[in-house]
Amino acid sequence: MKELRILLQTSLTLLLLAGSSSGRYVSSAVNHQTITGPSLRMDQALLTFHNQLKEEVQVFYTSDYCYKCVYQHLASVKLNNNNTSVVISTKFTLTVQVEPEARNSTLCRWSQKYEEGGHYSVWIQMSEDPSCAHTVAKRPNNAYLPLVVSALSLAIIALLVVAAPYVYRRRRTSIFFKTICCQCTQYSVDNDGAHSSEAEHNPTNAKPTRLRSLDTFRGFALTVMVFVNYGGGGYWFFQHAPWNGLTVADLVMPWFVFMIGTSVVLAFRSMHRRGVSRLQLLRKSTWRTAVLLMLGFCFLNYSPRDGPLSWSWLRIPGVLQRLGFTYFVLSLLQTFWRQREIPLTSHHWWNPIQDVVLYWPQWLIIILLETLWLCITFLMPVPNCPTGYLGAGGIGDNGLYPNCTGGAAGHIDRLMFGDNMYRYPTCKELYQTTQPFDPEGVLGTINSIVMGFLGMQAGNIIIFYKGRNVQILCRFLVWAVILGISAAILSKCTRDGGFIPVNKNLWSLSYVTCLGCFSFLLLAAMYFVSDIKGWWGGQPFIYPGMNSIFVYVGHSLLGFYFPFSWEMHFQQSHWEWLFQSLWGTALWVLIAYLLYRKNFFLKI
């Protein structure tokens, strides 16, 4: 009850501090308009068409990132040396097509990735044949310069942070300073540090030390999540992919789910060793799930501009809702079907895979769940849509299925939740969809459980081969290879042309195997660097990793208010937005560090 009281007080405080909300301008795939003078923002360029023909022409476009999308009208250019200027997006490569007004034919067509801030001219002229000549009236900006400067600055800061203690130790001369430093080095980075120092003097009461790599991995994923939620500097690859494909923003939630699975195994094993009963484990799991659901339903759904909480706009699916339900299922698997004793000395033909075979009831349930996902996704009939459809709908797929966004997954959510869903899916602008679609819907939660179970497998490996680090790392790498090959086969190493494309909105099977591969690789690297070699204590990611609930809820409620963000005034480039994203993220890391120093860890 004390933990609930602290949680509610913290959440309500964050909620009351939140003022009026403010929006951000987000450019579409081609945000075009006829203009009289250049008025460009970031990710925009000016494209001017000069028509030297004796007939009016129409200009159409499509984005190469939009799969089989119908050409959209861009501009009309009158005859006899008239010109028309439009503002276009520079996020993706565009295919532009010029057609005469009076006849159905194509004068010219080209694909080009325009650069931010550039002024381009296209001269539609006639020599022997119609042609479209390109000139550059104003050179574009270097859109990636802010990113390079920020990366170098962060690298220098990290180098100074690492080098400063070394220089300080080298300059120590007195015994007094040596004593202070010895005391500093004994201070553990985890909240079980006191128990660890006691264990040295009393081995019988020794408690297992906390793995730094787990907290570091969790904190790294959370830090990246905060950064991309603040806009990622306005760069498209720090935002979610429009539909198929993978961006930086699409990586973080599966990593977080993976860490949930690993933590469930280690935490439940510790509680089993302390003699916690099965009923107590069920109570703890149910309570934690209920709190996560409550936070997702109420607090993170709330915005002051919406007025009192209202069912009419309350979003039922959500990130915390999915995390809570995934945690509950994984905890049930670990409560009822864990392996009590691992026969390390037994000799069987299946010894090389005994860490899998011994957990066969869990694997059977996961295989049944994945079979259910495949059957519903590819066999369930959806009205007015092809069976097994995985596209975004809208103008995609030649405009044949405009109301089929998400196929079976979208259909199930619309039947269950109606309008109580996410209103702005990532495909809305590029594919011009009209149907609501929630990336945290029901069907995708099945594969979220599968992703968490892969994390449980990592936890089982850590327990099973405790003290044999080479075997732990080798098995992590084997799992990474198996999952990576599976993802390559399912997606055919393409964005849109595979059997099952990599898709975060659907949480497709290839998405889970691909991110599972990345998760095992990252965990192996952090485990080697932090827990085996001790080269890195996980700073600064370990601090938000140990207070993940507080940081996530806090940045979700307060993230778009001062001092974490402000109304931007310089929108011609990425400089201010990138600074704002890094500033807000750094503040939450600093807050997590201060809470760590105060030994405050918000638990559920």
Answer for the pair 19, 561: CB distance below 8 angstroms, yes or no.
yes
Question: Alpha-carbon distance 47 to 110, whole Å?
Answer: 14
Q: Find out whether the peptide bond into 361 is cis, omega within 30 degrees of 0.
A: no
Q: Evaluate whether 440 touches 319 at the Cβ level (below 8 Å).
A: yes
Measured CA to CA, the distance from residue 535 to residue 106 in angstroms comes to 62
Is residue 7 within 8 Å of 604, Cβ to Cβ?
yes
Find the helix packing angle between 442-464 and 252-273, rounded to 10°: 50
Q: In the numeric block, which tokens belong to residue 22?
A: 């403010």
The owner of tokens 């990345």 is 518
Q: CA 503 to CA 427: how far, in whole Å?
A: 11
Residue in the block written with tokens 């905060």: 226
Residue 306 CA to residue 314 CA, distance in Å, equals 10
Sequence-ordered list of residues with C-beta below 8 angstroms from that of 252, at least 6 positions apart, any chain: 221, 222, 224, 225, 228
Contact in structure between 266 and 459 (CB atoms under 8 Å): yes
| DSSP character string of 541-580 | THHHHTTHHHHHHHHHHHTTSTTT----S--SSSHHHHHH
Cα–Cα dist 295/602, whole Å: 14
Where b means 16+ CB within 10 Å and e means fewer, 366-379 reads: beebbeebeebbee
What is the DSSP-derived secondary structure letter of residue 102? Answer: S
Residue with tokens 């403010």: 22
Is the dihedral angle over the CA atoms 320, 325, 328, 334 positive or is it negative? negative
Residue with tokens 């009923």: 279
**Residues contacting 443, CB < 8 A, separation 6+:** 373, 376, 377, 408, 409, 412, 413, 506, 507
CA distance linking residue 229 with residue 77, whole number of Å:
40
Instruction: Name the phi and psi angles at 592, rounded to 5.
Output: -60, -40
Q: How many CA atoms lie within 13 A of 252 on its CB side?
A: 22
Q: Select which of 240, 411, 555, 574 is catalytic.
A: 240
Cis before residue 100, ω within 30 degrees of 0? no
- The number of beta carbons lying within 10 Å of the beta carbon of residue 131 is 13
Query: Would you call 347 a catalytic residue per the annotation?
Result: no
Q: Are 523 and 554 in contact (CB under 8 A)?
A: no
Residues designated catalytic:
240
